[in-house]
Amino acid sequence: MIFSYYPGCTLKTKAKELDAYARRSAEALGITLSELPEWQCCGGVYTTAEDEIATKLSSVRALMEAKKEGHALVTLCSACHNVIKQTQYALNTDDDMAFKVGNYMQCDARAEADTKVIHYLELLRDIVGFDELKKNVKNPLTGKKIAAYYGCLLLRPSSAMQFDNPENPKIMEDFIRAIGATPVIYPMRNECCGGYITAEDPAMAKKNSTAVWESAKDFDADYIITACPLCRYNLIKSESPLPVIYFTELLAEALDVK
C-alpha cells in the first residue's frame, strides 16, 4: 500500500531518527511511504489569524501535491500534522479563506486540497491495525513502563484534528500495548511543554517541561515517548531524568528493524 509522505524540515536535520525508523517500520508492515516530490516547511506553528494567507500556502501545496499523486498524505511530526490539518480545516469551513487561497494558487483550492491526511499513529491504528501490528512484533518490549506524551498539537483543536479524545486519548497507549509494553497514564500527558517559548523565555519552557516529566516520573514511567522534535528537545533541555525517545524508535525496535 502506497501513501504520500510529508516528512517536514526537522526530520531532515535534527530529527533524522524519527523519520528513518518510521520508514523502515512502515516497509516491515507492508506500507510504502512515498515522499512528496516537492514540499516546503509548514512553518512549524499554525497562524490562527483569518487574514493570514501566505503562511498557509506551503500546507496547501503539500495537500495539492498529494492529491495529484493520488494517495492519502501521511505526516509524522506533530507540528506538521497540526499545521496541515488546521489549514485544510480552514479551507473547508471558511469560504473567504478558500476564495483567497484559490486566488493565490489560481485553482479551486478547496477541491484540489481535499486529500485525506493521517498521522503515522493513525496509519498504525486505522490502516495497519494494532492487532495486526502486534502479530508483526518480533521483539516485544515486555515489562517496560512507557509514558506517552501527546502534548498539544496532535489533539487540539479537536474540531480540526479529529485524532482522538482530546482530554482522554488512548491511541499512543494502544500502540504501547501493541508492542508488548505497559502504558503509564499520567495527568500531564496532554499539557503543553512550552513549545517555541523556549526561544523567548527559556525559564518558562523549563518550568512547563519539568512539570511534564515530573508527572510521568511520579507515575513510575521508565521513559517518555513523543512524536514531536520540539517536545523532545524541551523535555531533554529541562533535564528529564527519564529518557525521551521517538515512538518510531520503539516501533522499529519491536519490529526488529532498528
Interface residue list for ligand SF4 (CB under 6 A): 8-10, 41-44, 77-80, 151-153, 192-193, 195, 228, 230-231
Give the residues across from 3 on adjacent strands: 33
**Any contact of residue 38 with other proteins (CB under 8 A)?**
no
Q: Which is nearer to other proteins, 185 or 204 (CB)?
A: 204
- In the block, which residue shows the cell 531518527? 17
In angstroms, the CA 201 to CA 193 distance is 13
The least CB distance from residue 211 to ligand SF4, in Å, is 11
Question: With CB under 8 A as the contact rule, which of the stretches 21-29, 63-71, 190-198, 246-254 interacts with other proteins?
Answer: 190-198
* Helical spans, DSSP H, in the chain: 16-28, 57-69, 78-93, 95-105, 109-112, 120-122, 130-136, 158-161, 171-178, 202-218, 229-237, 247-255
Query: Measured from the CB atom, is 141 or 208 closer to other proteins?
Result: 208
Evaluate whether 6 touches 80 at the Cβ level (below 8 Å): yes
Binding other proteins by CB under 8 A: which of 13, 106, 142, 168?
A: 13
Closest CA to 90 of 51, 123, 125, 129: 51
Helices and strands of the chain, counted as H and E runs: 12, 8
Size of the site for other proteins (CB under 8 A): 47
Q: Are 182 and 143 in contact (CB under 8 A)?
A: yes
Pick the stretch among 107-115, 123-131, 138-146, 149-157 that binds other proteins (CB under 8 A). Answer: 149-157
The minimum distance between CB 158 and other proteins, in angstroms, equals 6
Are 121 and 139 within 8 A, CB to CB?
no
**b/e map of 228-247 (b: 16 or more CB within 10 Å)?**
bbbbbbbbebbebebebbbb
One-letter amino acid identity for 43? G
With CB under 8 A as the contact rule, the residue among 22, 23, 36, 44 that binds other proteins is: 44
Whether 73 and 4 have beta carbons less than 8 Å apart is answered as yes
Crossing angle of helices 78-93 and 95-105, in 10° steps, is: 110
Q: Which stretch binds other proteins (CB under 8 A): 21-29, 123-131, 133-141, 198-206?
A: 198-206
Residue 198: name its binding partner from other proteins, ligand SF4, none (Cβ under 5 to 8 Å by kind).
Answer: other proteins
CB of 11 to ligand SF4, least distance (A): 6
Residue 46 touches other proteins, criterion: CB under 8 A: yes
Asked if 92 interacts with other proteins (CB under 8 A), we say no
Q: 152: how many CB neighbours lie within 10 A of its CB? A: 19
Q: Which is nearer to other proteins, 35 or 191 (CB)?
A: 191
Q: Is 91 in the site for other proteins (CB under 8 A)?
A: no
| Least CB distance to ligand SF4 at residue 118 (A) | 15
Positions that interact with other proteins (CB under 8 A): 8-10, 13-15, 41, 43-52, 55, 77, 79, 94, 152-153, 155-158, 166-167, 191-192, 194-201, 204, 207-208, 228-230, 233, 236
